[in-house]
Structure 1
Amino acid sequence: MTSFTKPLVRAMAALALTSTLIGLQAPAGTAAAPPIAGAQYVQGVQYVQLQHPVPASPREVTEIFWYNCPHSYLLAQPLRDWAARQNPPVTIRHIPAAWPDRPDMMGYARVYYTLDRLGLADSMEQAVFHAVRDEHWDLTQPDALSEWAQLQGIDEQQLMDAWNSPEVQQEVQAAPALRERYEVHEMPSVIIGGTYRTSPFIAPGGVQGTVPVVDYLLRRSR
């Protein structure tokens, strides 16, 4: 082999190796790194503007979620951690995703509003997700909810009083219309300042990339 051909062969081998490595990369959206700070996002691609914005503070973030949704589970804590770092503070509002023809979703909306009435929705969020997603509890059933609540140290009588209260019933019945007001058809979805909406299904990198888009939209709405 001549001195001319050796570098050529080495270059071809390096090119082949590079092509192989590119082919082995994870599919887009499965393990993408979050966008760098200050990255620009495009309306209609990584986020949308509501056709009918909802009156809200520019620093209000509304999360539409479902306890039995794996993406909601993955997004909940990172979103809370991000909000805790904001100064001035950011208010996170939670709305359970509910469709009237989905008894399971209406049931978990009832679980949320029951805990919320007791002032426990925020502190028990991860415990509920863990029970539903990891341990496969059906907390939409009163007996199962009571048993789970006892394990968490929640007063069973207070829980059932809230579960059966007319206030909780009214909130559950209003949940589908509230979701529609935010023009949400997938969960989780996050609405910033009552104007912009994003979700793991359109944010780059899925759940991992959702919070950077929320951060960008917060600064934009401000």
Structure 2
Amino acid sequence: MQRWFKRLLLGAAVLLGASVAQAAQWQALPKPMPVQTPGKVEVIEFFWYGCPHCYHLEPSLETWVKKLPADVQFRRIHAAWNSGMQVHAQLYATVQTLKLDDKLNMPIFNAIHKDNVELRDESVLNDWIAKQPGINAKNFMKTYKSFSSQTYARLSPQYTRDYGINAVPTFVVGGKYMTSVADAGSEADLYKVLEQLIAKVRNKQ
């Protein structure tokens, strides 16, 4: 085989390998999903309060979210595959309804993963929330028991299935593309891939 042809094959193999490696960093959703706010580039994090990977990602994710441009909308959906996750979904629905994400998401993660507090037990949650500064515990528990929070918990497995989520944390960009720390290769690379996907959606690709 001539030398130039060997080089051509080698170059093609390198390009193919790079292409496969790049493609592995994200995947297209089998069925595009509608975005919440037309005209915005939507980034959704599917997460679970009980997930240690979500817990470890939370500090850097909070920093990244604060720097997002005005045309990008970040939101979360609490994933659920079982009843225990649904109870945590009910807790997140309460946090979201009361707009307490900035005040309570990290404390909830710490309570579960660092302090081993069983927040799925309603009496334990009631005692814990009463100790959180600046939180109206009575209003919080009323919202927790509300029809809307219970409905969110009941529907959370459906949201998880609709997007084809089988692991957390998983991110969906523009209702079209999905990635994760595992797909991206590292926590630092995750944000690079997310920014690439944001640009892709922004450019209508």
Return closer, same or farther for 1:126/1:184 CA change in 2, 3 Å cut-off.
same
Name the amino acid aligned to 1:140: R
Q: Secondary structure at the match of 1:149?
A: helix
Q: 1:42 to 1:218 in 2, by over 3 A?
A: farther
- 5+ residue gaps, structure 2: 1-17
**Amino acid of the residue matched to residue 42 of structure 2?**
E
Decide which of 25, 47, 50 is 2:26's aligned counterpart. 47
1:90-105 matches, within 5 Å, as 90-99=72-81, 102-105=82-85
Query: Are the aligned partners of 2:40 and 2:73 in contact in 1 as well (CA < 8 Å)?
Result: no
Runs of at least 5 residues in structure 1 that lack an aligned partner in the other structure: 1-38
- Which amino acid in structure 2 is aligned with residue 167 of structure 1? S
Residues of 2 paired with 1:185 and 1:125: CA distance? 22
Residue matched to 1:75:
57
Normalising by structure 2, report the TM-score. 0.81
8 Å contact from structure 2 (residues 40, 71) kept in 1: no
Question: Displacement of 1:41 after TM fit?
Answer: 8.2
How far 1:70 moved relative to its partner?
1.3
Q: Is the 8 Å Cα contact of residues 71 and 200 (structure 1) preserved in structure 2?
A: no
Instruction: Find the counterpart in structure 2 of residue 146 from structure 1.
Output: 126
How many residues are paired up? Answer: 181
In 1: Cα distance, 2:117 partner to 2:90 partner: 15
The code of the aligned residue for 1:190 comes to F
* Paired residues for 1:9-88 under 5 Å: 44-56=23-35, 57=39, 59-88=41-70
Three-state SS of the structure 1 residue aligned to 2:45 is strand
CA distance in 2, matches of 1:76, 1:66: 11
Alpha-carbon distance in structure 2 between the residues aligned to 1:54 and 1:67: 24
Of 89, 98, 104, which aligns to 1:118? 98
In the alignment, the residues of structure 1 paired with residue 199 and residue 184 of structure 2 have an alpha-carbon distance, to the nearest angstrom, of 17
- Paired with 2:92 and 2:130, the residues of 1 have a C-alpha distance of 17
Q: TM-score, normalised by structure 1?
A: 0.75
| 1:5-64, Cα deviation, whole Å (9 max, x unpaired) | xxxxxxxxxxxxxxxxxxxxxxxxxxxxxxxxxx98856511110010112255110000
Match of 2:177 in 1: 196
Structure 2 residue aligned with 1:127: 107
Note if contact 1:46-1:204 (Cα within 8 Å) is conserved in structure 2.
yes
Is 1:58–1:218's contact at 8 Å kept on the other side of the alignment? no
RMSD: 2.0
Percent identical pairs in the alignment equals 30
Partners in 2 of 1:41 and 1:77 — Cα distance?
31
Question: In 2, are the aligned partners of 1:58 and 1:192 still within 8 Å (CA)?
Answer: no
